[in-house]
Amino acid sequence: MHYSATVVVFAASVLSLFLAAWKGPPAVADSLSAAGQPMRSADAVLAPRDEELLHRQAAMILSPLPEAMPGAEKDSPELVALGEKLFFETALSTNRTQSCNSCHRVDGSHAGVDNLPTSPGAMKKLGDRNAPTVLNAGFEIAQFWDGRSPDLADQAKGPILNPVEMGMPKAEEVMGRLEAAGYGPLFAKAFPGAAEPLTYDNLGLAIAAYERTLVTHDRFDAYLKGDLGALTSLEKRGLSEFMQTGCVRCHNGPTMGGLLFEKIGVVHPYDSKDEGRFTVTKRTEDRFVFKVPMLRNITMTGPYYHDGRVATLAEAVDRMAWLQLGVRLDNARLDSMLRFMTALADERRASAPPADSAPPAKPWTPPALADLGPGPDAELVRYGYLLLTDTYQYLGKPGLGYSGNVLACRSCHQETGTKAYGLSWMGVTGRYPRFRAREGRESTLAERINGCMQRSLAGRPLPADSLEMKAMIAYMGWLSGHTPKENAGLLAVRFDLPARAADPAKGKEHYAVFCQNCHGAHGQGYQPMAAEGRGSYSVPPLWGAGAYNIGAGMARLLTATAFIQANMPLGAQSGAPALSVEEAYDVAAYVNSQARPQMAGLESDWPDKVTKPVDSPYGPYADGFPPAQHRLGPFGPLKAWQAAHRKQ
């Protein structure tokens, strides 16, 4: 059945009473850094008892998505098939260029949106509001941001006759087109016994029947059903933060939204000319009130808010906490919430065949900062964690300049160096000193860190005997523990080299679906409001002045491909990637084709030029292949030349 207003109000009342009494699961222990500042241990895990409590509390407020939307039990296969055909039918627009799928894309990996701030109609006029996802829409209390349509069937009829959207002048002309296109028998099968099956109302009913099939399934459903291992420890932390912060006051129920109308700007005003539900009800209390958006698939449905003005999910969460709750989120809280939200993505859309990589050779169990005891050694480890987590805040301040951009070491080294195939630091202290071909000599771990300070962070080297360098190495040493050197997860993910050159244009298309909801359409990343312009970005910029320079390892196409395929978008794992190797290859090409800072002195890298990586984006090269092939491939001929000329 559909959710009634009475049920929603009652549920909201119960939720308010529950939240008023609930202080959340026991907080993860805070630690005191060597700098004397309180720090939340972002990699800490909840104790088993606390995990069970968190699960019970989440199940009281949230619930798995049902297998079917209300009304689906009455939909015949013929009705659904007709609705699907109509959903993709361009004859429903005035110039035959646009279908429902143009704005609410469900093809491929798309999550029911077009990933545009506002959508262009058939005549290229832009609407005033962001196109909401059609996935799971039948679970919502009403349709459209202002709730003006009570159900899917009524909503489906609106855009076709809207002059800004599909632009058809009247319903009769729509049905005349469909009759001329041979739809009559299909309507007759879908509506047996109807005196006039080919009607505009039946068109709406058919499209609604198809849309009721668009139910998604994700890891959070499995978690709510009792599989506590379906979420990672960081995602569980994010769920805890999500609940404690108060987000569940509005984002509740199986869809985590869509069941209430709420004013945007409860605590702090939001600059909007759109008066929302007031345009429907004309009631003063409904001014600037909108339907609360669902959070299912939220990592794939940007840009955000009713006007599409918020480009990234990090900014959407950060600003909503401020607008609605008056809360400023620090990097750790924001990051953990974002990680939780990755578990809300439909597994059928956010998945790809895994690369041919072995799982970690040994159990992958990073230690937790909460387990560190007192003492100077522990304080040094904690300080190292701070430096690596918020590098710009601590090392990029005016007068220091060791960190030259807004990135942090954890921007590349996922989960502060603890994630398998995520450029982990576990075991790294046992691998140095070692010979490095880029320098042509043996290098220490401190020198390796300084290479990143100068290249990935576009800064300058730290003194090897500085407290900061000692702290970073202490943290990495603590992580390393007894981690075996041969553990597969310490290395990059292996993949079969594509035989073709990478295609930045295709990469841009994949970037729009999988990457720009976090990093932004212009690769700008996001810095939390709480940073006030001084801290590291919670989501790193991928190009432009604040990004890694051309001398960084991530500027190499094959290195970036392996990293993206195993780790991106946020929440992806090497065994359950969101992008195929081919897609990651093209995304890496698109990102690394954008402008980024340069670096002097790169010509001295790899004294033995034959050993220079074939995907180095800068010369000089020992082979006779063109620079463009080193940047984009194909790399097979380059690797063959290198193998033939490398010293034995």
Q: How far is CA 648 from CA 324, 474, 644, in A?
A: 65, 37, 10
Instruction: Yes or no: say if 42 and 335 are a contact pair by the CB < 8 Å rule.
Output: yes
* CA 518 from centroid of its chain's CA atoms: 5
Angle, CA of 67, 68 and 69, to the nearest 5°? 140
How far does the chain reach from its first CA to its final CA, in angstroms? 73
Give the C-alpha separation, 149 to 156, whole Å.
9
Query: Three-state DSSP class for 530?
Result: helix
Angle, CA of 414, 52 and 329, to the nearest 5°? 45
Tokens of 348: 């059928």
Task: Scan for tokens 């008056």, then name that residue.
Answer: 326
Pairing of strands 434-436, 441-443: antiparallel
Query: Three-state DSSP class for 609?
Result: helix
Give the C-alpha separation, 57 to 79, whole Å.
40
Q: How far is CA 401 from CA 398, 406, 546, in A?
A: 6, 11, 13
Task: Scan for tokens 């698109």, then name that residue.
Answer: 590
Q: What is the DSSP letter of 249?
A: G
Amino acid at 40: R
Continuous segment of H or E residues that includes residue 40: strand 38-40
* CA 85 from centroid of its chain's CA atoms: 31
Give the number of other CB atoms < 10 A from CB of residue 386. Answer: 21
Instruction: Yes or no: say if 206 and 190 are a contact pair by the CB < 8 Å rule.
Output: yes
Write down the number of H helices and E strands in the chain. Answer: 24, 6
Instruction: Yes or no: say if 560 and 594 are a contact pair by the CB < 8 Å rule.
Output: no
Instruction: Yes or no: say if 428 and 473 are a contact pair by the CB < 8 Å rule.
Output: no
Q: Long-range contacts of range 273-282, CB-CB < 8 Å, 24 or more positions apart?
A: 274/128, 274/129, 274/306, 274/307, 276/145, 276/146, 276/306, 277/146, 277/147, 279/146, 280/146, 280/147, 280/148
Active-site residue, 78 included: no
Query: Three-state DSSP class for 140?
Result: coil
Continuous segment of H or E residues that includes residue 219: helix 219-224
Task: Scan for tokens 């059903």, then name that residue.
Answer: 225
Give the C-alpha separation, 383 to 377, whole Å.
10
Give the number of other CB atoms < 10 A from CB of residue 118. Answer: 20
Q: How far is CA 542 from CA 157, 354, 597, in A?
A: 41, 24, 11
Give the C-alpha separation, 129 to 131, whole Å.
6
Give the C-alpha separation, 347 to 471, whole Å.
40
Q: What is the DSSP letter of 64?
A: P
Query: Three-state DSSP class for 169?
Result: coil
Catalytic residue selected from 84, 89, 140, 165: 165
Q: What is the DSSP letter of 304?
A: B
Q: Which residue in 69, 70, 423, 360 sits closest to 216, CA to CA?
A: 69
- Just list the catalytic residues: 165
